[in-house]
Chain A
Amino acid sequence: MKRTQKQSQESRSKITRRGLMLGGAQGAIVAILAMRMRKMQLEQANEYRMLSDGNSVKIRLIPPARGLIYDRNGALIAGNEQNYRVTITREDAGDVPTVLEDLRRLLPISEADAEEILAEVKRRPPHAPVTVADRLSWEEFSRVAVNAPALPGVTPEVGLSRLYPRAEDFAHVVGYVGPVSDYDLSLIENPDPLLSIPKFQLGKTGVEAKMEEELRGHAGQRRVEVNSAGREMRELDRVEGDPGENLQLTIDYRLQNYALQRLGDESAAAVVIDVTNGDILAIASAPSFDPNLFVRGISGADYRGLMQDDHRPLADKSVQGLYPPGSTFKVVTALAALEAGVIGSEDTVRCPGYIEMGGRRFHCWKRSGHGHVNVVQSLEQSCDVFYYEVAQKVGIDKISAMARKLGVGVRHDLPMSAVAEGLAPTKAWKQERYGKDWLIGDTINSSIGQGYVLASPLQLAVMTARVATGRAVEPRLIRSRDGVEVPETEAPPLGLEEDWLDHVRRGMIAVMNGSRGTARASRIAAAEWKMAGKTGTSQVRSAVVDNHSVPWEQRDHALFVCYAPVDNPKYAVSLIVEHGGGGSSTAAPLARDILLFALAGGVPPLAAYPEGARAKARDLHEHMDLVDPETVPTSGSSRA
């Protein structure tokens, strides 16, 4: 459509009119902005200048007290101690090197530290305080406070610092805090302004890291009037922050302490679960370390020592460590076979000491063979051939499905660092991971917990608890938050027939109490605490050689899982001793002792031990340095 000249003229003049109107409106708004500028900057300038100048008013953050962590009885695991420190602010100090030189006459600050402080002061914004020295004694602190008027920009402060009174006992579960690093900040979007406080303590591992948000609390703010040297003259007003949440763990500090001491010098881990509600009563990884070292800034030598130790003290073996579960996994294979209907309860398999498969011999641990064994006997005597035979009929996928049902090969949701998923292998998994077909030999290996199968001590404890109860027990670590109990949920049934579970339990009871039980020597003698268990020895190397003739790191891992009392299960324990040799000889006595301690609620009476073990138990307990409940603080902050 062609427009006429007239139309075009009209539309042009309309645009011009409207354009001028817009220009007028914009001009008016510019005038308003200019008037506002004039009013604020010329008429009210003096008021604002005063507000800004005295400047006088500064906002200071009040760091909240970090939430405390207690054990299930209210014993303090992580507390806060008073920390006297001195900070310096470039903006107020002016000539930082001179002020620092003056300060060095009052405090022992080394040349190297002084240089580091100067670099730090230079790197941070001028208004940001930098810590010059902390953990000062009261004398040192008051010396600085008295001389403060001669030290512009220097502020003596009292802060709180994390203290772990139970030192090594909870190093892995609770973890530790440390000063915020640039790396930490880079991981957080929208970091809390609190994190910019110098040496602010942030959870680095364990519960401290996983529950950081809850433990940290919210900053308060103070408005203070300061003089030109930055010294506070008076506080104008104050909004208190919220302290972090106090957490209560499900762990029993005495049991934890006992477990760790009982593991001794071994590279080992133990987990104790209350099977009725999933509460983790103890979760120990040995050897441990002192988390307080990390809070104070660990020295290079200490750190190297921890890193170079072949027993890996920094690793939390209880949840991060993955091991072939060995014969403890037979519980899974047995249940899978019963569920699949491959064997009936009284069906027997003949064990000649080995089976031949594809030109390869798979041996039973007992070369001479077990003869005819049923499912209960197969557990009692830990016959390998029985499982080689039934596993071939069940198939790996059903075995692994049973493993996951029992909690092996699934990640349990606990607020701890790097909780491992483990592995319950399937045909599809091998195809995807290695691009190879699943072989029958793989099934045979898996049936006795070797080959690809991997489980953490936590998962084995869950497995034991589930077999003991027939319910899908979920482990939990947090008992209450700020005094509010985390509700216990009743675990749903696993959906396994009681008859199948009963056979497996009978097998496990026979392991401890049967005439041929592999762990008979480590049973509990007290009838009311009768226990059930299963040994495991998982191979680290392929050739079968006597354990004592090879170096430590090539010896087999010793495993043991157990629960008690058998009539009315209360506690389940799993335990692994890395390169410990045999499950029955090394792991079973340790696990039994820890289980007994839990059952007895303290050092167990000697009568509970089998006669042959009493002398050794008495000797052991006499030499233990167990925590004395009288000395454990249960209140808030403890003084340094």
Chain B
Amino acid sequence: MSYLESNLKTVPTGIRKVLYLNWPLVFLLAAVACTGFLMLYSVSGGDLATWSEPQMKRFGVGMAAMLVVGFTPIWFWRNMSAVAYLIALLLLVAVEFFGAIGMGAQRWLEIGPIRIQPSELMKIAMVMFLAAYYDWLPPERVSRPLWVLVPVVLILLPTFLVLTQPDLGTAVMLVMGGGIVMFAAGVSLWYFGTVIALVVALVFTVMESRGTDWQLLHDYQYKRIDTFLDPAADPLGAGYNIMQAQIALGSGGWSGRGFMQGTQSHLNFLPEKHTDFIFTTLAEEFGFVGAFSLLMLYTGIIAFCLYSALVNKDRYSSLLTIGIAGTFFLFFAINMAMVMGLMPVVGVPLPLVSYGGTAMMILLAAFGLVQSAHIHRPR
């Protein structure tokens, strides 16, 4: 059933929208963000103004954005999906030409005082557009090759742009995020099987190309792979981050060393300790209890989103919610796997906890979409 056919009278209006909010989700998001403030306070050595305070302000703005997006009817957002995708794509192209260089990659676009990272915007815009596409596409055509090709192109286009920045982490997330929506929409499992086989073949080729004149990745990317496979091989160089992160994590034990007592984290040897590696500080200072609790908070967020998607009879709403939850899942799963040494370091922040403006605002706005789908669901 689609809103074209549903009875608009059942949709809540005015103050009733507030009652229909997915409240557990709001509390879970706030709890995760608070964990973030606490950890940022700790890694800055007990200084509010360095990272915590700006992060709180952004969270406030982000929550407001979430409510505004959430109270706007979902059919408006569905109609805006293609526009959102196009804007994000244009911004990505703009980054190619005017982007600022940071940490060896070209990722940011500065418009006056605002600094945005279009690749973050694209993660959500792509999910919106794919959900709208499958909402429009008659279900029986979903697995036909030509109709599969369209979303594949829509995914690969921004992925290619992001790869040239170069930002491997985001590229992986775009492909997987898009794949999740396609999977949920019911694209035949054969396609996924083929893609996985191709990826395995590609990984093999990439590793083979190393050192030849058609080398496919940057040297530093190969180095990261090496380091992942054997961190001890280069403990003073690239493997250093991983070793130190794992020492921090493991030494947390059951209940941790206590707030602000993490010795590893307070040695400045962990770079990015306020962004990509912040989970290690949590794990060191609050131990297994803290780390596992955060994992459960994240899992709770995914569970509430998934439940909301499954009870929603609107196809666009379901796919959108699954897609956003999936992207959010990729964020924390990749980050945690990375710092725990299950994955190479690819530079993905811990969502809502790591310090960073664009990511936090866009994630909260995305949860606004989830709220909108929830509030305006057909009853």
Cβ 8 A contact of A40, one of B249, B309, B329: B249
- In the complex the two chains form, is B2's CB within 8 Å of A3's CB? yes
- In the complex the two chains form, is A42's CB within 8 Å of B254's CB? yes
CB nearest to B183 among chain A residues: A18
- In the complex the two chains form, is B313's CB within 8 Å of A12's CB? yes
- Contacts A42-B254, A52-B264, A125-B45 given: A33-B333 contact, CB under 8 Å? yes
Q: Which of A22-67 contact B (CB under 8 A)?
A: 22-23, 26-27, 29-30, 32-34, 36-38, 40-42, 44-45, 47-49, 51-53, 55, 58-59
Interface membership of B361, Cβ < 8 A? no
Residues on B with C-beta less than 8 A from A32 are 342
- Contacts A38-B288, A125-B45 given: A47-B336 contact, CB under 8 Å? no
Shortest Cβ distance from residue A126 to the other chain B in the assembled complex, whole angstroms: 7
- In the complex the two chains form, is A125's CB within 8 Å of B292's CB? no
A634 to B291, CA, bound (A): 61
- In the complex the two chains form, is A48's CB within 8 Å of B184's CB? no
Q: Which of B1-36 contact A (CB under 8 A)?
A: 1-2, 5
CB nearest to B104 among chain A residues: A190
Interface membership of A14, Cβ < 8 A? yes
Please, what's the 1-or-0 string for B224-254, where 1 marks a CB less than 8 Å from any CB in chain A?
A: 0000000000011000100000111111111
- In the complex the two chains form, is A41's CB within 8 Å of B287's CB? yes
Interface membership of B359, Cβ < 8 A? no
Residues on B with C-beta less than 8 A from A190 are 103-104
Residues on B with C-beta less than 8 A from A543 are none
- In the complex the two chains form, is A23's CB within 8 Å of B306's CB? yes
Interface membership of B269, Cβ < 8 A? yes
- In the complex the two chains form, is B185's CB within 8 Å of A15's CB? yes
Interface segment among B69-77, B79-87, B318-326: the answer is: B318-326
A569 to B153, CA, bound (A): 69
- In the complex the two chains form, is A44's CB within 8 Å of B250's CB? yes
Interface membership of A127, Cβ < 8 A? yes
Residues on B with C-beta less than 8 A from A239 are 236
A29 to B331, CA, bound (A): 13
A636 to B139, CA, bound (A): 79
- Interface centre among A21, A51, A58, A221, by most B CB within 10 Å? A51
Please, what's the 1-or-0 string for B246-289, where 1 marks a CB less than 8 Å from any CB in chain A?
A: 11111111100000000110111100000000000001100110
- Interface centre among B250, B254, B288, by most A CB within 10 Å? B250
A277 to B329, CA, bound (A): 65
- In the complex the two chains form, is A15's CB within 8 Å of B266's CB? no
- Contacts A11-B315, A37-B295, A239-B236 given: A125-B184 contact, CB under 8 Å? no
- In the complex the two chains form, is B186's CB within 8 Å of A18's CB? yes
Interface membership of B209, Cβ < 8 A? no
Cβ 8 A contact of B295, one of A30, A40, A127: A30
Interface membership of A223, Cβ < 8 A? yes
Interface membership of B299, Cβ < 8 A? yes
CB nearest to A8 among chain B residues: B1
- In the complex the two chains form, is B139's CB within 8 Å of A41's CB? no
Please, what's the 1-or-0 string for A62-89, where 1 marks a CB less than 8 Å from any CB in chain B?
A: 0000000000000000000000000000
Interface membership of A94, Cβ < 8 A? no
Residues on A with C-beta less than 8 A from B138 are 1, 3, 7
A11 to B143, CA, bound (A): 13
Interface membership of B126, Cβ < 8 A? no
Shortest Cβ distance from residue A223 to the other chain B in the assembled complex, whole angstroms: 7
Residues on A with C-beta less than 8 A from B287 are 41
Interface membership of B128, Cβ < 8 A? no
Residues on B with C-beta less than 8 A from A109 are none
Interface membership of A16, Cβ < 8 A? yes
Q: How many positions in chain A have a CB within 8 Å of any CB in the partner chain? A: 51
Q: How many positions in chain B have a CB within 8 Å of any CB in the partner chain? A: 60
A18 to B266, CA, bound (A): 44
Cβ 8 A contact of B306, one of A7, A19, A41: A19
Cβ 8 A contact of B252, one of A19, A45, A127, A223: A45
- Contacts A19-B318, A33-B333, A37-B291 given: A223-B251 contact, CB under 8 Å? no
- Contacts A37-B295, A40-B246 given: A49-B185 contact, CB under 8 Å? no
Cβ 8 A contact of A126, one of B266, B322, B340: B266
Q: Which of B162-201 contact A (CB under 8 A)?
A: 180, 183-186
Interface membership of B302, Cβ < 8 A? yes
CB nearest to A47 among chain B residues: B250
Cβ 8 A contact of A33, one of B1, B5, B295: B295
- In the complex the two chains form, is A48's CB within 8 Å of B326's CB? no
Cβ 8 A contact of B248, one of A2, A8, A23, A52: A52
Residues on A with C-beta less than 8 A from B291 are 37, 41
Shortest Cβ distance from residue A237 to the other chain B in the assembled complex, whole angstroms: 8
A189 to B342, CA, bound (A): 31
Residues on B with C-beta less than 8 A from A126 are 45, 266
Cβ 8 A contact of B184, one of A18, A49, A53: A18
- In the complex the two chains form, is B45's CB within 8 Å of A34's CB? no
Residues on B with C-beta less than 8 A from A45 are 250-254
Interface membership of A346, Cβ < 8 A? no
Interface of A is mostly: helix
Interface membership of A10, Cβ < 8 A? yes
Interface membership of B213, Cβ < 8 A? no
Shortest Cβ distance from residue A129 to the other chain B in the assembled complex, whole angstroms: 12
Q: Which of A371-389 contact B (CB under 8 A)?
A: none
Residues on A with C-beta less than 8 A from B236 are 59, 221, 223, 239
Interface membership of A343, Cβ < 8 A? no
A32 to B295, CA, bound (A): 11
Interface membership of A128, Cβ < 8 A? yes
- In the complex the two chains form, is B247's CB within 8 Å of A36's CB? no
Residues on B with C-beta less than 8 A from A42 are 253-254, 288
- In the complex the two chains form, is B333's CB within 8 Å of A52's CB? no
A59 to B269, CA, bound (A): 8
CB nearest to A196 among chain B residues: B268
Residues on A with C-beta less than 8 A from B235 are 223
- In the complex the two chains form, is B250's CB within 8 Å of A128's CB? no
- In the complex the two chains form, is A55's CB within 8 Å of B263's CB? yes
- In the complex the two chains form, is B186's CB within 8 Å of A14's CB? yes
- In the complex the two chains form, is A127's CB within 8 Å of B267's CB? yes
- In the complex the two chains form, is B292's CB within 8 Å of A37's CB? yes
Please, what's the 1-or-0 string for B81-108, where 1 marks a CB less than 8 Å from any CB in chain A?
A: 0000000000000000000011110000
Interface membership of B148, Cβ < 8 A? no
- In the complex the two chains form, is A36's CB within 8 Å of B250's CB? no
Interface membership of B207, Cβ < 8 A? no
CB nearest to B283 among chain A residues: A41
- In the complex the two chains form, is A52's CB within 8 Å of B306's CB? no
- In the complex the two chains form, is A125's CB within 8 Å of B269's CB? no
- In the complex the two chains form, is B247's CB within 8 Å of A22's CB? no
Please, what's the 1-or-0 string for A311-344, where 1 marks a CB less than 8 Å from any CB in chain B?
A: 0000000000000000000000000000000000
- Contacts A14-B186, A15-B318 given: A7-B140 contact, CB under 8 Å? yes
Residues on A with C-beta less than 8 A from B333 are 26, 29-30, 33
- In the complex the two chains form, is A33's CB within 8 Å of B336's CB? yes
Q: Which of B50-85 contact A (CB under 8 A)?
A: none
- Contacts A22-B183, A52-B263, A55-B263 given: A14-B139 contact, CB under 8 Å? yes
- Contacts A33-B337, A41-B288 given: A49-B251 contact, CB under 8 Å? yes
- In the complex the two chains form, is A19's CB within 8 Å of B309's CB? yes
Residues on A with C-beta less than 8 A from B140 are 7
Query: Shortest 7 CB-CB distances between A and B: which pairs?
Result: A48-B250, A52-B251, A11-B139, A45-B253, A41-B288, A48-B251, A14-B186
> Would you mind naming 7 contact pairs between A and B with Cβ atoms under 8 Å apart?
A11-B315, A15-B184, A15-B186, A16-B310, A37-B292, A52-B247, A125-B268
Residues of A within 8 A of B (CB): 1-3, 7-8, 10-12, 14-16, 18-23, 26-27, 29-30, 32-34, 36-38, 40-42, 44-45, 47-49, 51-53, 55, 58-59, 91, 125-128, 189-190, 221, 223, 239
Interface contacts beyond A41-B249, A45-B251, A47-B250: sample of 5 additional A-B pairs, CB < 8 Å, sorted by A = A18-B186, A19-B306, A23-B303, A40-B250, A221-B236
